[in-house]
Chain A
């Protein structure tokens, strides 16, 4: 009985993966479309993926560096490691949120697996993030941070973050089909989330209760924390942090897939 249902689940899973494999070129073209259209007709083109985060980092550094000078050495790098990851999460989930509604016309007229639009948005954000690693290297060189082999572990964090964003994106996209209010609620949520993640301030500057809450319940802290360990402190992240990061990514993905698959047949009635 149990064996049978496991076989059945495996078969469904295999079908799903096969289907996704068939549409891999579509995914590729959607990602390429996002990237191409983003910088089309701008003189500097893809260079903006590097320049834009740098410019923002410089502005925030100038504003806050005197405030946290004593507690954080190399403030620009501290800020940039946090800002990079948070911006990726913020932008990719915001675009994923409206992915189904924005492609409504197409979904009404041709059969395409609907999750592919969310997938494409999260993936093109990730490609952008990888470009901005160039900016990270520039910051590291200019601030004299130095490099170490530990730096090469960065993909471990990016994979976790990607899975987390995918789950969150799927969840938001399906919710937004039924309730357009989600867009506005999520705007407020991400603003609060940004202030609750130690991006431009040191975690130690917070009161203890808030600190406990962030250290245990804020997934973005798990990723920013690991990334800072690898890039900024050049040390291995603690296993607790990695475990928390992986678990929250998988839980988010499970929630995302579950809600999305359950409701996707009804999308067409609401878009």
Chain B
């Protein structure tokens, strides 16, 4: 493995959530809580003191049971959540595929949504114009360009979302269990595109429950268990240990 610098540096990151049942969002409750001195925020640590370093061009899988903080740590890396303690440093551009088509507006047409979504991901209008044909080609949606996206099937939306998000050749691609939507043909197409991006030097962070996929796509893996890092190392070893403990 060649060393080309660090792409993502997750340094002793702890992420704190406020538990939903204690959520105080109106004045009446706030005053009652204040009087009863219950305002103390009942904290819940979704991720506890996790550190790992992802080198440029590597592919990392993040595995673990439901609720172990996998998506949360991806959100911290994408800059959506600010860590409560610790620091995340990313050197380069990010394409977060945490949910395909987040930010699509159902009332706008596919054409308008492509521009809007591209801008949400931080691209200029000019850039989106240049890549417009390529995006529509990949999504195979030429026939529906000018109909409102609320009439689209979920597969069509996912195709469009994936196509917009990956049109950019980012330095870091973050994929969160999104490949489970869409038909086999499209899934294959997505995997091909990810592979192609990997060859061009894109770093990949990948969350999945399928060990086979992680072992296929990733070089390294991190195993999170209830917010704590259990293991960190080469994909095959970590997946093996995970499978052994979970008895499959």
Which residues of A are found within 8 Å of B124, using beta-carbon distances?
Answer: 25
Tell which of A5-13, A50-58, A109-117 binds the partner.
A109-117
Give min CB distance, B121 to chain A, whole Å: 7
Residue of A nearest to B108 (CB): A33
Tell which of A129-137, A139-147, A174-182, A215-223 binds the partner.
A174-182
Pair B108/A110 contact, Cβ less than 8 Å: no
Q: Which of A33, A105, A180 contacts B102 (CB 8 A)?
A: A105
Give min CB distance, B103 to chain A, whole Å: 4
Let me know if A36 is at the binding interface, CB within 8 A. yes
Number of residues in A with C-beta < 8 Å to the partner?
27
Taken together as a complex, chains A and B put the C-alpha atoms of A33 and B107 apart, in Å, by: 9
> Could you mark each residue 88-131 of chain B with 1 if its beta carbon is under 8 Å from any beta carbon of chain A, else 0?
00000010101100110101100010011001111111000000
Pair A40/B107 contact, Cβ less than 8 Å: yes
Q: Which of A26, A37, A179 contacts B25 (CB 8 A)?
A: A179
Q: How large is the interface on B (under 10, 10 to 19, 20 to 34, 35 or more residues)?
A: 20 to 34
Chain A, interface SS category? helix
Which residues of chain A in 5-33 are interfacial with respect to chain B, using CB atoms and an 8 Å cutoff? 22-23, 25-26, 28-30, 33
Pair A179/B119 contact, Cβ less than 8 Å: no
Assuming the contacts A105-B102, A110-B96, A111-B78, asked whether A29 and B116 have C-beta atoms less than 8 A apart, the reply is: yes
B residues near A (Cβ < 8 Å) are 17-18, 23, 25-28, 30, 75, 78-82, 94, 96, 98-99, 102-103, 105, 107-108, 112, 115-116, 119-125
Closest 4 CB pairs between A and B?
A109-B102, A26-B119, A111-B79, A265-B82
A residues near B (Cβ < 8 Å) are 22-23, 25-26, 28-30, 33, 36-37, 40, 105-112, 178-181, 265, 268-270
